[in-house]
Structure 1
């Protein structure tokens, strides 16, 4: 989801370290391979679809749920990224630790959406996206292999809930650099339809700044609705939303869950989301069918009319992991 950026002093610093130039991309497009303490509620409970006119005031205003991922440390927990740099197109073990206020590695987590921790990696231009589930060692060190297709700046998001009474869901973020020859890319324009692996996914609804709104994504293949989606991460789909420019991580709730007696297994997958501000956002939908997880990506602008269902957007550079290892 988003608009185009130019190479900054940060990019130049990375170039000095890795012998490459980096850029930060802002634009408007679809998902593929492509500040103040922020707190999240638990992802465990699905939210009902909002009524028209519902929601709260915008960020910086009066109480909207803050975006996450902008801080490396929050609520006494810190993301210690032990692998801050990798080489593009080379498989590397990414390692990190979540530390508590006393600097100790956290070793106990609540399971959220079937996992103790969700790891998201997105390029600064929001063209490359990875949703991984790393493996945790007994000493609290998390690890997962990654193979990033392009050089440049990336953001790593750790989404988790400590197994501690009263602890809330957190999303901590840290910067990751991938060395190599870098060419900035602009994101695709906002469209209501995306294609991935022969599937067509249509977005109905849009983000609203400071107010909850329903986003419904409909999945079809060869022109026929897909009505037998398989559960993935405790729902028929998992949606991540990132704000262009600073990559703020939005908290998105699924509406309903498999087996609740009211949520169908497709073709529609419903979510409730609130944009913290006007701006361009990138939506990444993971869904599972025929035993494989796929990602459809969309660019939307909070505060603008829904995009037209014109030519489908290109597939994102994406990756998944259901076994604890990246693709």
Structure 2
């Protein structure tokens, strides 16, 4: 599917905070209790946070904060598992009648993309489960640490008027819980001998460019392989509530202009200022690897220009 068919990014004026302790076999699911079966139905609302919005307008929530939206519900059939033990993670997407959905549009080469991320954003999994004839999805998952996780189902129902959706539900991993801090801000990431460098900034409510350069052993990688219809797939999650941001790649393999590295370019919109965790999946030599970054989003100034954080002055924004 052409990457420009993906929906534009959501933005939000509401941030949810989560607290709780996790013990053996225990799980807390505040999102399921507060957002279940409360779909956002007004599609005419603004999708960005701009100064001068009409009084009383309510921007839509970013993706992943709701378990139900637009008549669809994420039914997580495996709400808890044990850390360090492989478990079959099962779920279904249900319609208003409670029936499991079995007809999807293909987006980025898949019917559904499953993201599993820990609340502290130290663990990230991008998975592609298998759908059974009855509409139940499943995939083996092993999570390394006990604690709270968020499961995101990113999909597009079949139909001419259907739009992409990202639904989220809480998952608990039992075991001895050791809290972890959000990884510090970084502009480079090392993974399996590869160095990935991030250029660009995030600004609340504004679309900005992000470019990630891939090198191996100090040499630029110029033969990246297509992965999910692009030379890279980027997921951004907001620290605190794990709001899921749709990030769009620029160009696609075979379009005559997009090169297979070393640079992979994206556009992204952060709904609010604050810290975000970015995960880049890229494929080289038949293996998919993930590079992770922590990047703050600066607030937009009242004059419409971004206030640049002190530690973001030299992140290569000129490469947009």
Cα distance, 1:38 vs structure 2: 9.1
Partner of 2:112: 117
The count of residues paired between Structure 1 and Structure 2 equals 274
Cα distance, 1:206 vs structure 2: 1.1
Q: Which runs of 5+ in 2 are unaligned?
A: 1-16, 29-37, 299-308, 316-320
Cα distance, 1:135 vs structure 2: 0.1
- The answer to whether residue 40 in structure 2 is matched with residue 37 in structure 1 is yes
Cα distance, 1:187 vs structure 2: 2.3
Q: Give yes or no for contact 2:90–2:139 (8 Å, CA) kept in 1.
A: yes
Q: Which has the higher contact order (CA 8 A, sep 6+)?
A: 1
Partner of 1:282: 277
Partner of 1:306: 312
CA deviation map 1:160-191 (0-9, x unaligned) = 00012201000000000000001011122111
Query: In 2 relative to 1, CA 228–199 (structure 1 residues): closer, same or farther, beyond 3 Å?
Result: same
Aligned equivalents of 1:59, 1:81: Cα separation in 2? 38
Greater than 6 Å deviation, 4+ residue runs: 62-65
Aligned equivalents of 1:114, 1:57: Cα separation in 2? 31
Partner of 2:231: 236
1:75-154 → structure 2 map (5 Å cutoff): 75-154=70-149
Partner of 1:31: none
Cα distance, 1:247 vs structure 2: 0.2
- The answer to whether residue 52 in structure 2 is matched with residue 57 in structure 1 is no
* TM-score calculated relative to the size of structure 1: 0.78
Q: Which runs of 5+ in 1 are unaligned?
A: 1-5, 22-34, 41-54, 310-327
Query: In 2 relative to 1, CA 207–96 (structure 1 residues): closer, same or farther, beyond 3 Å?
Result: same
1:255 pairs with one of 240, 250, 256? 250
Q: Give yes or no for contact 1:59–1:210 (8 Å, CA) kept in 2.
A: no
Cα distance, 1:18 vs structure 2: 1.9
Q: Give yes or no for contact 1:37–1:71 (8 Å, CA) kept in 2.
A: no
Aligned equivalents of 1:295, 1:103: Cα separation in 2? 36
Partner of 1:29: none
CA deviation map 1:256-285 (0-9, x unaligned) = 000001100000000000000011000000
